[in-house]
């Protein structure tokens, strides 16, 4: 690297020269930001081996050089005084934070001993759950090699409703798997997206919309972040988004504003559904030779629904060959949603949105979709071989996230949203929502969840998958759950991301069985990732009659000293994101956009100055010690002696397909699929740590039905076959489950779950009041929400010296009118009660919130000592968690059974269902309650009382 010259000037003759501008850095390394989940490209400036500053990478497809406050503050995350320094073994009682430092050999010996015993007896006694890490392609694979079905990451806590509804309806999803057509959309509806989600891409996209004058409506009970710059803010009542969407559908159907051609060609709207109440195939598709049937309105006959020459009818009742009745899906849609209970007048009071507003938005959607059509002069060919001269689209797009997802009715709300998109013909057409490769995928994706393996055996498949029907559930012969979190059981059949939020509660109660070891990575389960914080701490620390902890062993890996570290037995300290390799894989969470497939890596930009190791390396080494089949060869030698970087390059789940798709082939000549390339990581590093492969112009839209796209996706290894993906507006999979609940089929549903499955497995979207609302509305009249601030990502930010200056403490935000009624002023202390617990915190009045809702920033409050914060830090005195108020299980039902506080289809944690009441707190208060005792600290870096980062630079540079 060429040295940068420092300009030197003399004030006057004879004066010594003065350096007016010293070079910021002597070296720049590219990597990928991990201050949130958006995966922006960054350039890290280094001097004397220290990080000087972080800059956005202008060439990077995710952020195009944009860097947010969090991204810049990555320096403080890297130099955080909370960083763990060496493996730790608990010596005091759990929760006290008393540890002794041990060597890595001892740590790995202990872990191998514990895990080896489990694997040799009953592998599912290991519960291996990870948090917001981005290496699930590795961790999931490791779990299957170990042989435990008890694995998942944090999706069940976050947004599995969004993912499952998307994957079972449109073969794709929002978040990082799809995006609005920012260049062409004219009307953009954003549902429940906090400002840190898909942060820089959405910010860049919104600036494009604003520059073009497109209309942007934000539907969100809270007006901050994106909602604050929306053209219109709809402060909806939490949990009623589905009702609002179904009312929009009602209006579109009533006014005939639907895209019949799109529905007939690209969805199952014309497929005939058997109408034979009580029969075992009632509600399934009418088929001939396994192919769905439709009614041809020109030929007046039954035809194959996928017949390219058919003119399928969307309405009417038809007679099948066996004399039974059948109707097209669209007829069922029209019958259901034209009902007056979905009319704007009927839903206005429940949603808090006036009937006039709902009618206007429906009319505006229709106007944008049908009167402002976008035409792109680009020929394309559909899956039947028909040529189209132009790409014609509906410039209406939508995006949604956890705000609609984290409710007990979230799955159906997300499905309703996809139905609305499809009715408008606004899926992967110019101007609308667009898939990002490797999506779209078959509906549902092909992998099914694996069942348990025997001792010393790997799973046959992966722990997480996509059930197609009752026979794919992970249950025993009596229909009882086999997984510790009860995912893929009758309690949550489509829990495709697992149910992290109930693992501790279930393990504590030995329901359905006790576990031996809880192995966690990067998830603060005893604090802000618990739905029920104090109770979770109790479960982690309570002993049984023999004096043993009810969860006997806990192994935890993280880079920082958190509440979860204090509640664990063996700590395997991780590096920061600037000290290791990571992989944003197309098999997992890629960085693709709608116009290209893309993936990325992180590479170490500095060496650890502590005795810590990348968790991925540790996991591979543990696998070798345990002799897991994928990790050792026949002679028992490591298959990946170079640890994670070696695995990234050389592991192939299928021949020619690896974790990284770029520069495959011996010489890097292949893109997508190809042989492993020993120099692949160097290629990535030389290219700014990312790879991007543009989709050909003729394949850019209509991806699920575009012959060129399907062929391209097969060539790249994203699809097995170039088969079209028809949107499943009516879900036969859901109907299969419902039929089982009604007593049909081979698989029997345990009696206690039958009504629940029959009710919530409706093949068309439904809306029902969130469960907490049904039980608590009278006593707890308010909704309570949390959201992450723009400047912080979960609790990580609360240890970051720069970001703490933006949010060092949080308040409960209350609407002015509500506050006036309750005689509450700014900074007053208020007591917030739920059916579960109570907190006392300070208030902040606002206009920007739904009047029946209170809210706060997420994960700012800390237990004293956690993150190595100073005693009396604002985070531990005035910060607080709403999590204390949320229960993990719903109230007891007849027979004593308690369901998870979750969506009944997917098991998504329903923490946005929370209902509370508030009152002005009695007496004097100086800190938030509940308060927790200070944690002891293991050896950590000295915590500076006054931050002078950079002062050292100058002193070292001054001669
Ligand atoms: S949006 Fe997220 S990934 Fe991008 S710079 Fe900010 S913190 Fe980093």
CA 260 to chain centre: 33
Check whether 635 has a pLDDT greater than 50.
yes
CA separation, residue 741 to residues 245, 470, 486, 490, 736 (Å): 28, 10, 18, 10, 9
Angle in degrees, CA 245, 249, 255, rounded to 5: 145
Dist CA 360 CA 353 (whole Å): 11
Best residue among 61, 67, 194 to mutate for probing ligand 1, ranked by most atoms within 8 Å of CB? 67
The CB of 57 under 6 Å from ligand 1? The reply is no
CA 892 to chain centre: 29
pLDDT category, 565, cuts 50, 70, 90? Answer: very high
The CB of 70 under 6 Å from ligand 1? The reply is yes
Which distant-in-sequence residues (6+ apart) come within 8 Å of 655 by Cβ? none
Which H, E and C letters describe 106-150, residue by residue? HHHHHHHHHHHHHHHHCHHHEEEEECCCCCHHHHHHHHHHHCCCC
**Least confident piece of the model among 189-198, 627-636, 756-765:** 189-198
Which H, E and C letters describe 710-723, residue by residue? HHHHHHHCCCCCCC
The residue nearest atom 5 of ligand 1, judged by CA position, is 71
For range 695-720, the mean pLDDT: 98
Dist CA 892 CA 895 (whole Å): 8
The CB of 202 under 6 Å from ligand 1? The reply is no
Check whether 411 has a pLDDT greater than 50.
yes
The CB of 199 under 6 Å from ligand 1? The reply is yes
For range 167-178, the mean pLDDT: 93
pLDDT of residue 166: 98
pLDDT tens, position by position, 450-500: 999 999 999 999 999 999 999 999 999 999 999 999 999 999 999 999 999
Angle between helix axes 751-760 and 732-741 (nearest 10 degrees) is: 150
Report how far ligand 1's centroid is from the alpha carbon of 864 (Å): 28
Best residue among 31, 34, 36 to mutate for probing ligand 1, ranked by most atoms within 8 Å of CB? 36
pLDDT category, 951, cuts 50, 70, 90? Answer: confident
Report how far ligand 1's centroid is from the alpha carbon of 31 (Å): 12
Mean pLDDT score of the chain, rounded to an integer?
Answer: 94
pLDDT of residue 956: 61
For range 746-764, the mean pLDDT: 96
Q: Which atom of ligand 1 is nearest to the CA of 196?
A: 1
The CB of 35 under 6 Å from ligand 1? The reply is yes
Percent of the chain topping pLDDT 70: 97
The CB of 39 under 6 Å from ligand 1? The reply is yes
pLDDT tens, position by position, 877-912: 999 999 999 998 898 887 788 999 999 999 999 999
pLDDT of residue 341: 98
For range 765-776, the mean pLDDT: 88
Report how far ligand 1's centroid is from the alpha carbon of 199 (Å): 7
Report how far ligand 1's centroid is from the alpha carbon of 269 (Å): 40
**Least confident piece of the model among 190-194, 339-343, 426-430, 817-821:** 190-194
pLDDT tens, position by position, 261-291: 999 999 999 999 999 999 999 999 999 999 9
Q: Which atom of ligand 1 is nearest to the CA of 72?
A: 5
The CB of 791 under 6 Å from ligand 1? The reply is no
Report how far ligand 1's centroid is from the alpha carbon of 175 (Å): 15
Q: Which letter, b or e, does each residue of 851-863 get, where b requires 16 or more Cβ atoms within 10 Å of its Cβ?
A: ebbbbbbbbbbbb
Nearest to 200 by CA among 69, 60, 72, 40: 40
Nearest to 765 by CA among 277, 439, 404, 369: 404
pLDDT tens, position by position, 393-409: 999 999 999 899 999 99
Report how far ligand 1's centroid is from the alpha carbon of 32 (Å): 9
Dist CA 787 CA 120 (whole Å): 43
- Helix or strand or coil: residue 813? strand
pLDDT of residue 132: 77
The residue nearest atom 8 of ligand 1, judged by CA position, is 71
Check whether 183 has a pLDDT greater than 90.
yes
Q: Which letter, b or e, does each residue of 319-331 get, where b requires 16 or more Cβ atoms within 10 Å of its Cβ?
A: ebeeeeebbbbbb
Report how far ligand 1's centroid is from the alpha carbon of 940 (Å): 27
pLDDT category, 704, cuts 50, 70, 90? Answer: very high
The CB of 33 under 6 Å from ligand 1? The reply is yes
pLDDT category, 78, cuts 50, 70, 90? Answer: very high
Report how far ligand 1's centroid is from the alpha carbon of 449 (Å): 33
The CB of 62 under 6 Å from ligand 1? The reply is no
For range 564-593, the mean pLDDT: 96
Q: Which atom of ligand 1 is nearest to the CA of 199?
A: 1
pLDDT of residue 2: 38
Report how far ligand 1's centroid is from the alpha carbon of 69 (Å): 8
The residue nearest atom 2 of ligand 1, judged by CA position, is 36
For range 810-832, the mean pLDDT: 97
Which distant-in-sequence residues (6+ apart) come within 8 Å of 192 by Cβ? 219, 220, 241, 400, 401, 402, 403, 404, 405
For range 135-159, the mean pLDDT: 93
Dist CA 761 CA 494 (whole Å): 10
pLDDT of residue 3: 43
Check whether 361 has a pLDDT greater than 80.
yes
Best residue among 31, 33, 64, 176 to mutate for probing ligand 1, ranked by most atoms within 8 Å of CB? 33
Report how far ligand 1's centroid is from the alpha carbon of 196 (Å): 9
Q: How many CB atoms lie within 10 A of CB 896?
A: 6
pLDDT of residue 1: 38
pLDDT tens, position by position, 436-451: 999 999 999 999 999 9
For range 750-756, the mean pLDDT: 95
Report how far ligand 1's centroid is from the alpha carbon of 62 (Å): 10
The residue nearest atom 4 of ligand 1, judged by CA position, is 40
Ramachandran bin of 537, using left for φ above 0, alpha for ψ from -120 to 50, beta for the remaining angles: alpha
Best residue among 30, 31, 71 to mutate for probing ligand 1, ranked by most atoms within 8 Å of CB? 71
Measured between alpha carbons, how far apart are the two ends of the chain, in Å? 23
Taking the whole predicted model, whether its pTM rises above 0.75 is answered as: yes
For range 243-270, the mean pLDDT: 98
pLDDT category, 4, cuts 50, 70, 90? Answer: very low
pLDDT category, 134, cuts 50, 70, 90? Answer: confident
CA 197 to chain centre: 10
pLDDT of residue 777: 62
Q: Are 191 and 31 in contact (CB under 8 A)?
A: no
């Amino acid at each position: 690297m060429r040295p940068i010259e420092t300009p030197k000037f003399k004030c006057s003759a004879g004066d010594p020269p003065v350096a007016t501008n010293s070079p910021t850095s002597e070296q720049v390394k590219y990597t990928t930001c991990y201050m949130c989940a958006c995966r922006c490209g960054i350039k890290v400036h280094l001097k004397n081996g220290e990080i000087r500053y972080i800059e956005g990478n202008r060439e990077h497809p995710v952020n195009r050089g944009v860097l947010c406050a969090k991204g810049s503050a990555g320096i403080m995350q890297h130099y955080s005084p909370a960083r763990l320094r060496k493996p730790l073994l608990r010596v005091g009682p759990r929760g006290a934070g008393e540890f002794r430092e041990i060597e890595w050999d001892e740590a790995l010996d202990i872990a191998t001993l514990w895990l080896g015993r489990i694997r040799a007896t009953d592998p599912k006694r290991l519960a291996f759950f990870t948090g917001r890490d981005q290496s699930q392609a590795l961790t999931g694979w490791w779990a299957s090699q170990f042989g435990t079905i008890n694995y998942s990451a944090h999706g069940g806590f976050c947004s599995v409703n969004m993912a499952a509804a998307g994957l079972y309806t449109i073969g794709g999803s929002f978040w990082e798997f799809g995006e609005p057509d920012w260049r062409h959309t004219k009307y953009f509806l954003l549902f429940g997206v906090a400002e840190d989600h898909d942060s820089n891409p959405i910010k860049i996209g919104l600036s494009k919309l604003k520059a073009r004058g497109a209309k942007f409506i934000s539907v969100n009970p809270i007006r901050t972040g994106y909602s604050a710059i929306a053209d219109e803010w709809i402060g909806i009542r939490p949990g009623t988004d589905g009702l609002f969407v179904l009312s929009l559908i009602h209006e579109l159907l009533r006014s005939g504003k639907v895209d019949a051609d799109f529905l007939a060609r690209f969805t199952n709207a014309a497929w005939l559904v058997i109408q034979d109440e009580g029969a075992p195939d009632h509600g399934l598709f009418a088929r001939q030779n396994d192919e769905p049937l439709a009614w041809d309105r020109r030929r007046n006959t039954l035809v194959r629904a996928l017949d390219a020459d058919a003119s399928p009818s969307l309405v009417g009742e038809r007679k099948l060959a066996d004399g039974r009745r059948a109707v097209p899906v669209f007829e069922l849609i029209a019958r259901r949603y034209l009902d007056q209970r979905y009319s704007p007048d009927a839903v206005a009071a429940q949603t808090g949105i006036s009937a006039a507003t709902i009618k206007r938005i429906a009319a505006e959607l229709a106007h944008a979709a049908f009167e402002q059509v976008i035409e792109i002069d680009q020929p394309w060919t559909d899956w039947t071989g028909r040529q189209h001269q132009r790409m014609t689209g509906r410039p209406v797009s939508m995006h949604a996230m956890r705000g609609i997802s984290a409710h007990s009715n979230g799955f159906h709300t997300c499905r309703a949203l996809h139905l609305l998109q499809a009715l408008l013909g606004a899926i992967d057409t110019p101007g609308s929502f667009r898939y990002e490769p490797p999506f779209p995928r078959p509906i549902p994706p092909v992998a099914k969840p694996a069942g348990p393996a025997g001792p010393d055996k790997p799973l046959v498949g992966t722990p997480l998958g996509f059930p197609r029907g009752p026979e794919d559930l992970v249950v025993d012969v009596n229909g009882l759950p086999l997984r510790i979190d009860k995912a893929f059981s009758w309690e949550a059949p489509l829990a495709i991301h697992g149910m992290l939020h109930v693992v501790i509660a279930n393990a504590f109660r030995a329901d359905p069985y006790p576990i031996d070891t809880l192995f966690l990575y990067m998830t603060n389960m005893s604090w802000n990732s618990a739905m029920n914080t104090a109770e979770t701490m109790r479960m982690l620390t309570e002993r049984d009659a023999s004096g043993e902890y009810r969860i006997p062993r806990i192994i935890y890996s993280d880079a920082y000293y958190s509440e979860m570290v204090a509640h664990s037995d063996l700590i395997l300290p991780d590096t920061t994101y600037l000290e290791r390799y990571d992989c944003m894989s197309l098999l997992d969470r890629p960085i693709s956009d709608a116009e290209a497939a893309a993936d990325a890596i992180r590479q170490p930009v500095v060496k650890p100055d502590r005795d810590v190791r990348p968790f991925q390396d540790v996991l591979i080494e543990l696998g070798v010690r345990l002799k897991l089949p994928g990790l050792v060869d026949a002679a028992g030698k490591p298959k990946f002696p170079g640890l994670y970087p070696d695995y990234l390059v050389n592991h192939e789940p299928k021949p020619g397909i690896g974790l990284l798709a770029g520069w495959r082939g011996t010489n890097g000549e292949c893109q997508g699929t190809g042989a492993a390339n020993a120099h692949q990581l160097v290629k990535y590093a030389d290219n700014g740590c990312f790879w991007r492969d543009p989709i050909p112009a003729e394949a850019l839209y209509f991806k699920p039905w575009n012959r060129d796209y399907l062929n391209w996706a097969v060539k790249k290894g994203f699809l097995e076959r170039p088969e079209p993906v028809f949107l499943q507006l009516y879900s036969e999979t859901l109907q299969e489950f419902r039929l089982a609940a009604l007593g049909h089929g081979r698989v029997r549903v345990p009696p206690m779950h039958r009504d629940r499955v029959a009710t919530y497995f409706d093949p068309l979207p439904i809306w029902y009041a969130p469960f907490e609302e049904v039980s608590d509305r009278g006593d707890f009249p308010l909704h309570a929400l949390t959201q992450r601030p723009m400047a912080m990502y979960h609790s990580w930010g609360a240890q970051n010296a720069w970001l703490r200056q933006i949010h060092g403490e949080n308040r409960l935000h209350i609407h002015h009118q509500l506050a006036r009624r309750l005689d509450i002023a700014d900074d007053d202390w208020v007591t917030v009660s739920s059916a579960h617990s109570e907190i006392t915190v300070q208030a902040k009045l606002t206009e920007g919130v739904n009047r029946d809702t209170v809210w706060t920033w997420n994960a700012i409050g800390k237990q004293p000592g956690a993150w190595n914060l100073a005693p009396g830090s604002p985070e531990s005195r005035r910060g607080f968690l709403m999590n204390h108020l949320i229960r993990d299980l719903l109230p007891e039902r007849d027979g004593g059974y308690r369901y998870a506080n979750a969506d009944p289809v997917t098991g998504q944690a329903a923490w946005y269902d929370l209902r509370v009441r508030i009152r002005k707190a009695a007496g004097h208060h100086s800190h938030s309650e509940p308060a927790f005792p200070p944690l002891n600290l293991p050896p950590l870096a000295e915590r500076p009382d006054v931050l002078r980062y950079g002062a050292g630079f100058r002193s070292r540079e001054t001669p």
